[in-house]
A and B are shown apart, each in its own frame.
Chain A
Amino acid sequence: MDDNELDEVVNEFIVESHENLDDLDRALVLLEHDNDPNVVARIFRTIHTIKGTSGFLGFSTLESVSHVGENLLSKLRDRELMISTEITSGLLAMVDAIREILQTVSTSGDEAGLAYPALVERLTELAVAPTAGVEPEAAPAPATFTPLTEIAETTPDVGEVPKPQGEDRPPASETLRVDVSLLDDLMNLVGELVLARNQILQFVQPQGDPAFNATSQRLNLITTELQAGVMKTRMQPIENVWNKFPRVVRDLTINCGKQARLEMEGKHTELDKTLLEAIKDPLTHLVRNAVDHGLESPANRLASGKSTEGLVRLSAYHEGGQVIVEISDDGAGIDADKLRRKAIQKGLLTSEEAHSRSDREMLNVIFLPGFSTAEAVSNISGRGVGMDVVRTNIEGIGGSVEVQTVLGAGTTFRVKIPLTLAIVPALVVSVGQDRYAIPQVSLIELVRLDAHQSPEGATVIGGIEWVQGLPVHRLRGQLLPLVFLRDVFENDLYDGVIDSEPRESFNIVVVQADDHQFGLVVDDISDTAEIVVKPLGRLLKSADTFAGATIMGDGRVALILDVMGIANRIGITTSERRGSRAATGVDVTDVSGTWRRLLLFSLGDRHLGLPLEAVARLEEFSPADIEMSGHRAVVQYRGEIMHLIDLGDELGMPSSRVEGQPMQVVVYTDANSSVGLVVDQIFDIVEEHLDVTETADSHGIAGTAVIHGQVTDVIAVKQILRSAVPAIFATASEVAA
């Protein structure tokens, strides 16, 4: 083989070995819990292959390390040795050493300078140690770790051996390995194509050339499918990152003498590969934190009436075009008073500042640079990465992180991440002649304000009040600070009168920056659009109010607003939290996970709620839009025909809707079909700890809860859809809504 060929073989060896090693961490931790012969065989085979190949390629250090490991593993396989914490730790150290060698080989081309005499000796001793016949359970280890409980997955058997990755993959001939940079290029090209498509669609006229219109329509459909297809090639399950957490938690529990169980839910949730890479370190840090700072020692847990084994729970799911990852523990929770003392002591806040903040607001102090809550900074969670870095990293990819805690019951970190970076859904607004895009991630809701003409002929906006010289709007009993977008870019401040052309209304875009909500006042709201994010030019890079630029359908440029940057620039530092939770005093996550977002609406005099994750959009249709197909009401919606279901009819509740008035519709999307649920009045979106009472006897109702002191029926969306439009939803699997 010449040098090029050899390089190719070595590269293949490094890539393949890394893949196998990732699986190995998990398998070893599993093995410690349950000495399953299949798992031993799998581990043995991986090390065996590495040993064999490294001999081939002349990596003698690697060969010697894997050789002693293989020896030890063969004794485990033949039941000459019983697995123990020492053996597992030794094998894990071997995996680390192999990784280190591979890393060196991939950067420098050889393994020069690396030697592991101590490790080789340790593994050799382990292989001859007379532990045979000694029950490992005889001496209880100070710390235990239950590797994995899978919830809501198809394998109910706790600790069941997961199939080795390689075995359920398609055969070698049906898969293809592609460089990620090639996929990046493809993604960029698709982005350009989306822009060109949007521009072409501008030329489509209802009365125009039918051939052109039909072709444009085809182009539109194909582009959408292509975009989805290319995005799919970049998607990977979050499992790829989670896989290493059992090992992380195991090592930690042993190091800090705790006991922990790790649960995972939704591990098949998919994310763009780039994003997955980006959240790897922040998530690892949060998991370490949960064990090191979140969970109490077994003795303290017993003292507070808990079981000695703590629980760390990971869950991932899709909600409103984002991926939500939650990391929760059932530990001691975060003590706000402790945070106050610490923040004052560290000089991060003055005494007045600390005491004027609510407990909730104090929680965010943990994200400040230079803050650490552990009594003694351990070398475990520390590692030079603070929570401030976690937050910076997550925000760097357009995500956000929030924390909730219940003293004595646990802490939950909620990380929201966009599905992909290159193409984001955004709301297009305008101020004067300029248009801006606001990423949907930061959007909460839209509010319209009526305006009237003053006697002097200027426009006066109603619904705006002044608190200490600053404009606010009273929204559902809470004060919302307002920012006039035109002021952000021009320096003449709003004085209650707008002297541009007369208009009837203004719009408030309610956005969320960090823990604070504020309203951006804009002239017009155009529409939502899928925008392709383009980086700003060098000269505008330092403008923190913009996150980038995009090209609109008509070819003009719109700037993408950075809501966080605007908040910083305006100096919004205090705001009331969302009314609902502050008012009811429920402002914490129940770690058992019954905390949901609900859309509240009415039917006649009944109050109803439905889970927000089922909702795609809220729309209003005028009666003129509604057509009949067979005996069903349908509307034309986004180029397709959408069925309308009258929820009142379906649930047997009288509606108080007035004939001829616009109808409020909740659009629900499942796979590729959309359905509109017609309701009377949409009220609000609340985040609630749901205490649902089952009322199984009534059709379409999942249960009843008390929300804001009001009895509210929570509806079972899927059940209703299956009975109302079986043709579309009959096959959808039942998920209790």
Chain B
Amino acid sequence: MKILIVDDSRTMRLVLRRMLAQLGHDDVVEAAHGGEGLERMTDDLPELALVDWNMPVMGGLDFIKAVREQRAYDRVKLMIVTSESSPRIVYEALKAGADEYAMKPITGDIMDDKMQLLGLS
């Protein structure tokens, strides 16, 4: 399964990549913001995207909206991974079309659970 990580922090991308590898997912691509994430969507056709909320150029909300506008990506699962915790943001994300919402700091176990919920593991 191919997984896309969209996060402006290199450290965060590295942490998530390591976590996914522990869960047996080695096919991972990265993007530093939403705009780059959209390019990766076209080029790499991931099945799951882990998306940060607060990013330069294009943030998580706009990225999710842009992905959900295209029918071709209907089956791609979108998971927000952020340290933002306000109910307003969770609501906005889910309303825009996110499938799951995970709070940083996230552990491998939680990630595994969330992926099972999405029917991906």
Contact = CB atoms under 8 A, between A and B. Distances in A.
B12 A172 contact: no
Given A42-B56, A52-B104, A166 B32 contact: yes
B104 A55 contact: yes
Contacts of B18: 1, 5, 9
B15 interface: yes
Given A48-B54, A51-B83, A12 B11 contact: yes
B5 to A, nearest CB: 10
Interface residues of A, number: 24
Interface string B52-65: 00111100000000
Contact of B9 (A1, A49, A55, A164): A49
A172 B13 CA distance: 11
Interface string B35-58: 010010000000000000011110
Contacts of A56: 12, 15, 104-105
Contacts of B11: 9, 12-13, 16-17, 53
Given A1-B18, A55-B104, A171 B10 contact: no
A9 B14 contact: yes
Contacts of A48: 54, 83
Contacts of A172: 10, 30-32, 36
B36 A55 contact: no
Interface string A1-28: 1000100110011001100000000000
B112 to A, nearest CB: 15
A79 to B, nearest CB: 17
Interface in B79-121: 82-83, 104-105
Nearest to A6: B18
A8 B14 contact: yes
A132 B54 CA distance: 26
A167 interface: yes
Q: Is the interface of B mostly helix, strand, loop or mixed?
A: mixed
Given A56-B104, A172-B32, A172-B36, A45 B14 contact: no
Contacts of A44: 54
A172 B7 CA distance: 11
Given A52-B83, A172-B32, A12 B14 contact: yes
A106 to B, nearest CB: 13
Main secondary structure of the interface of A (DSSP, over half): helix
Contacts of B30: 172-173
Given A1-B22, A52-B105, A9 B15 contact: yes
B39 to A, nearest CB: 8
B97 to A, nearest CB: 23
A19 to B, nearest CB: 9
Nearest to A56: B105
Interface residues of B, number: 23
Contacts of A51: 83
Contacts of B82: 52
Contacts of A17: 11
A62 to B, nearest CB: 13
- Which of B11, B15, B105 is packed against the most chain A CB atoms within 10 Å? B11
B56 A45 contact: yes
B102 to A, nearest CB: 12
B10 A16 contact: yes
B105 A12 contact: no
A678 B8 CA distance: 57
A176 B22 CA distance: 25
A215 B82 CA distance: 59
B32 A55 contact: no
Contacts of A45: 8, 54-56
Contacts of A167: 56-57
B6 to A, nearest CB: 11
B56 to A, nearest CB: 5
A718 B84 CA distance: 57
A699 to B, nearest CB: 49
Interface in A324-372: none
A51 B30 CA distance: 21
Contacts of A173: 30
Contacts of B36: 171-172
Nearest to B15: A9
A167 B39 CA distance: 16
A112 B57 CA distance: 37
B32 A53 contact: no
Contacts of B10: 12, 16, 172
A332 B39 CA distance: 57
B61 to A, nearest CB: 14
Given A9-B18, A171-B36, A55 B83 contact: yes
Contacts of B104: 52, 55-56
A55 B106 CA distance: 10
Contacts of B31: 171-172
A58 to B, nearest CB: 9
Nearest to B106: A56
B8 A49 contact: yes
A681 B3 CA distance: 72
A152 to B, nearest CB: 28
A164 B82 CA distance: 22
Contacts of A164: 56
Nearest to A55: B105
Given A16-B10, A48-B83, A53-B9, A171 B32 contact: yes
B21 to A, nearest CB: 9
A51 B19 CA distance: 20
Nearest to B40: A173
Nearest to B12: A53
Contacts of A9: 11, 14-15, 18
A52 B53 CA distance: 12
Contacts of A8: 14
Contacts of A42: 56
25 contacts: A1-B19, A1-B22, A5-B18, A8-B14, A9-B11, A12-B10, A12-B11, A12-B14, A16-B11, A17-B11, A45-B54, A48-B54, A49-B9, A49-B54, A52-B9, A52-B83, A53-B12, A53-B15, A55-B105, A56-B12, A56-B105, A166-B32, A167-B56, A171-B36, A172-B30
Listed from nearest, the 6 A-B pairs whose CB atoms lie closest are: A52-B83, A13-B11, A56-B105, A172-B32, A49-B9, A12-B11
Interface of B: 8-12, 14-15, 18-19, 22, 30-32, 36, 39, 54-57, 82-83, 104-105
Given A1-B22, A55-B83, 15 more contacts: A1-B18, A9-B11, A12-B10, A17-B11, A45-B54, A45-B56, A48-B83, A49-B9, A52-B105, A53-B11, A53-B15, A167-B56, A171-B31, A171-B36, A172-B30
Interface of A: 1, 5, 8-9, 12-13, 16-17, 42, 44-45, 48-49, 51-53, 55-56, 164, 166-167, 171-173
